[in-house]
Homo-oligomer: A and B are copies of this chain.
């Protein structure tokens, strides 16, 4: 696997216990880079840096490795895997956290190997912004760097979040987080404020309403693919990011294109957002990464075509 064209992602591998209006899932496989890497692997090679405990099933790591996912950066540490417990009531767009057992994730200190430093694309999943900066410190040159965050860090470590934002190209957050980060309820005002903090590309995920993209080339709205079945929204955002980055890696997008080939850059980004919306629509159809694990490239491609038809005027 060539690391040059591959995507590095750094974040959590986890067990999740989740209650949604459709049922309960106990200690199922979760974690941001789990969702991200499976989604991205439909498009490009992926490298994962993370940590799991001794209780994490090696069969799942083997399964990831059987795709184009390099799991050699996932440390198996003494102790238990990070365990998140949460629920979705009424509003399926926002999870309520019941407990967070960090376990081995508490002392997570990402160490990049040479091949990781050489990766062309980087996705910093939702982790402590201080750790995100440590990854950036270690990273070599890249085509594109994207980043996620969450309310917990925006509220608790705003200055560190701001430092991270100055060093990335793409911020991918949800609507509530965009309001919190910008202090603006109006979408346009929020987008302008956040882009002035650093990221030239901003994606605001709007759950069942889709996603909006803000760049120097303008604004783009992608609808969510309307699924008949919404079982569990967990991981929708991370799999969105996975398909988004995967698509950009596949087409060889580079931040410099914003200036050298703005129309092509714009088209790549818009298609990548569509890929993200479609991937997320599969994720929510089942608990954990179950739907993604049985997703075929044909299904993915067919639903992308279907969504594009729903946007035609």
CB pair B309–A218 under 8 Å, yes or no, is yes
The docked-state distance in angstroms from the alpha carbon of A311 to that of B213 is 11
CB pair A187–B311 under 8 Å, yes or no, is no
Contact with A220, one of B219, B274, B310 (Cβ below 8 angstroms) = B310
User: Does A228 touch B at the CB level, under 8 Å?
Assistant: yes
CB pair A228–B310 under 8 Å, yes or no, is no
Residues of B within 8 A of A308 (CB): 313
The docked-state distance in angstroms from the alpha carbon of A227 to that of B310 is 23
Within 8 A of B (CB), among A204-240: 206, 208-210, 212, 218-223, 226-230
Given A206-B209, A209-B206, do A310 and B186 touch, yes or no (CB 8 Å)? no
The docked-state distance in angstroms from the alpha carbon of A218 to that of B210 is 18
CB pair A313–B311 under 8 Å, yes or no, is yes
CB pair A228–B274 under 8 Å, yes or no, is no
Q: Quote the shortest CB–CB distance from A68 to chain B (angstroms).
A: 26
User: Does A250 touch B at the CB level, under 8 Å?
Assistant: no
CB pair B227–A188 under 8 Å, yes or no, is yes
Residues of B within 8 A of A209 (CB): 206, 209-210
User: Does A24 touch B at the CB level, under 8 Å?
Assistant: no
Contact with A188, one of B188, B222, B228 (Cβ below 8 angstroms) = B228
User: Does A116 touch B at the CB level, under 8 Å?
Assistant: no
Q: Please, which residue of chain B has its CB at the minimum distance from the CB of A222?
A: B313
Q: Quote the shortest CB–CB distance from A149 to chain B (angstroms).
A: 22
Within 8 A of B (CB), among A255-313: 267, 270-271, 274, 308-313
User: Does A189 touch B at the CB level, under 8 Å?
Assistant: yes
Residues of B within 8 A of A310 (CB): 218-221
The docked-state distance in angstroms from the alpha carbon of A166 to that of B206 is 34
Q: Quote the shortest CB–CB distance from A198 to chain B (angstroms).
A: 21
CB pair A208–B221 under 8 Å, yes or no, is no
Q: Please, which residue of chain B has its CB at the minimum distance from the CB of A271?
A: B313
Residues of B within 8 A of A186 (CB): 228-230
Residues of B within 8 A of A313 (CB): 220, 222, 267, 270-271, 274, 308, 311
Interface residues of A (CB under 8 A from B): 186-189, 206, 208-210, 212, 218-223, 226-230, 267, 270-271, 274, 308-313
**Complex A-B: 21 CB contacts under 8 Å:** A186-B228, A186-B230, A187-B208, A187-B226, A188-B226, A188-B228, A209-B210, A212-B226, A218-B310, A219-B226, A220-B311, A220-B312, A221-B223, A221-B310, A221-B311, A223-B223, A267-B313, A270-B312, A274-B313, A308-B313, A311-B311
